Amino acid sequence: ALASTQNWEGSTISNSTSRASTICPMVAFASETTPLMGAKIGRRVWCETWWLPEFDLVTIEDGASINRGTVLQTHLFHDRIMRLEAVHVGAHATVGANAVILPGSSIGSHAVVGPSSLVMRSEDVPENGRWAGNPLRSWNTRSDIGATP
């Protein structure tokens, strides 16, 4: 194993930083900077989004994958009142590109939320399942995609 390597800017980093952070600038940002702002980010997390509005209300567990353009929304305005709630992404869960996760939601471990899906406020996505759509529903077979409920 190498004692050190170079990150995307060419700076020398130690092996304590994940190898993925040498490939993608956002992964380096998520794994090294957001914990300083209060986010709880696990090990080996792939986070390819800038949309973490209130860092201290975001928890992403080990091995989770947050894809490009995903919004982990932690606040909503209702009747001119701002409401804040935490968002939790479980271990080894995957959130597809451009999905929106609203406040108070929790994504179970090993769950998959498909691209451009909407997880409603305070919704709990069960672990070990595949979910997609707006509204969110089970996505276990190819025939489920685009089917009417």
What Cα–Cα distance (Å) separates residue 22 from each residue in 12, 29, 30, 92? 10, 11, 12, 21
Cα distance between residue 15 and residue 6, in whole Å: 10
Whether pTM exceeds 0.95? no
Asked whether 56 and 39 are in contact (CB, 8 A), the reply is yes
The mean of the pLDDT values for the chain is 78
pLDDT in tens, 102-126: 999 999 999 999 999 999 999 999 9
Phi-psi label, residue 41: left if phi above 0, alpha if psi -120 to 50, beta otherwise:
beta
Query: When comparing pLDDT for 40 and 33, which is higher?
Result: 40
- pLDDT reported for residue 36: 59
